[in-house]
Amino acid sequence: MSSSSKLDKDEGGKCVDSKIYHSMIGSLLYLTASRPDIMFSVCLCARFQANPKESHLIAVKRIFRYLKDTPNLGLWYPRDSTFDLHAFSDADYGGCKIDRKSTSGTCQFLGNMLISWFSKKQNSVALSTTEAEYISACSCCAQVLWMKQQLFDYGIDVGTIPIKCDNTSAICLTKNPIQHSRTKHIEIRHHFIRDHVSKNDIVLDYVDTLHQLADIFTKPLDKERFWTLRRDLGLMDLS
């Protein structure tokens, strides 16, 4: 998706056949199970299924053209990889033009193998970048805790799980057991991450934005940045 384009409802745009649009989105959503590089773009286009316009259809066709040019791109899982579980968490503050909700993006690795990822618009409007990053980190925490339990059932203890975040304020917020006036507006269900940080189940580590792999799941990127993150996620030509 072009980094200069920002999709909205486009109420004055030309209407298109919603049935065709739904079928295209459905096919692409199925494909996101093995192609994390299109996750953000597909989820963004899927938000306009109620009343699709020509601008939305153009964006979807762009995804299909990209897929046509990269038919052999896929994830490779080597047999000699380690079982160290770690994750990346990021958020695009106020990225949605319609309601100004932020977009959360996370990805989880087992060794150097990408095993889980998602891109989702947050349920509430974040009042700061810190809050948006904090909510995204909590979603990532819930995912890695489930994975930790799954691995434990197979007899694998992964210990403390690092979650990479590029916002120092959000990291400090998880370590602060006191709910100050600046944070009490955040839903209580997001504060469970503090309990797991104190129990040493997870730890939030700082990573600079340049090495934040979850950035690809939160916003459109320029070509060079997109290719770099795509490679770092483990996508390669499998032909």
**pLDDT band for position 97 (cuts 50, 70, 90):** confident
Neighbours of 176 (CB within 10 A): 11
Given the DSSP bridges, would you call strands 85-92 and 161-165 parallel, antiparallel or unpaired?
A: parallel
Residue 123 three-state SS: coil
Domain span at 174: 85-232
Average pLDDT over residues 41-69: 94
pTM above 0.85, yes or no: yes
CATH number at residue 130: 3.30.420.10
**pLDDT band for position 193 (cuts 50, 70, 90):** confident
Q: Does a structural domain hold residue 237?
A: no
pLDDT of residue 223: 92
**pLDDT band for position 180 (cuts 50, 70, 90):** low
Closest CA to 50 of 93, 2, 4, 98: 98
User: Are residue 58 and residue 104 in the same domain, yes or no?
Assistant: no
Is 79's pLDDT higher than 90? Answer: no
pLDDT of residue 194: 83
User: Are residue 53 and residue 128 in the same domain, yes or no?
Assistant: no
**pLDDT band for position 182 (cuts 50, 70, 90):** low
pLDDT of residue 184: 58
User: Are residue 65 and residue 92 in the same domain, yes or no?
Assistant: no
Q: Does a structural domain hold residue 238?
A: no
User: Are residue 152 and residue 187 in the same domain, yes or no?
Assistant: yes
Q: For the segment 149-162, what is each residue's pLDDT rounded down to a tens digit?
A: 999 999 989 889 99
User: Are residue 66 and residue 111 in the same domain, yes or no?
Assistant: no
Is 19's pLDDT higher than 70? Answer: yes
Q: Does a structural domain hold residue 188?
A: yes
Please state the domain count of the chain: 2
Is 163's pLDDT higher than 60? Answer: yes
Neighbours of 153 (CB within 10 A): 8
User: Are residue 67 and residue 162 in the same domain, yes or no?
Assistant: no
User: Are residue 135 and residue 225 in the same domain, yes or no?
Assistant: yes
User: Are residue 201 and residue 119 in the same domain, yes or no?
Assistant: yes
Q: Does a structural domain hold residue 202?
A: yes
Residue 142 three-state SS: helix
Is 66's pLDDT higher than 90? Answer: yes
State how far the alpha carbon of 9 is from the alpha carbons of 51, 61, 100, 125, in Å.
Answer: 8, 17, 13, 18
Q: Does a structural domain hold residue 9?
A: no
User: Are residue 182 and residue 101 in the same domain, yes or no?
Assistant: yes
Q: Does a structural domain hold residue 2?
A: no
Q: Mean pLDDT score of the chain, rounded to an integer?
A: 90
pLDDT of residue 34: 93
Q: Does a structural domain hold residue 11?
A: no
State how far the alpha carbon of 89 is from the alpha carbons of 51, 133, 140, 144, 166, in Å.
Answer: 31, 8, 6, 11, 8
Average pLDDT over residues 136-149: 93
User: Are residue 169 and residue 125 in the same domain, yes or no?
Assistant: yes
Write the burial class of residue 16 (CB in 10 Å: 0-12 exposed, 13-18 middle, 19+ buried): middle
Is 175's pLDDT higher than 90? Answer: no
User: Are residue 148 and residue 191 in the same domain, yes or no?
Assistant: yes
User: Are residue 121 and residue 41 in the same domain, yes or no?
Assistant: no
**pLDDT band for position 185 (cuts 50, 70, 90):** low
Q: Does a structural domain hold residue 10?
A: no
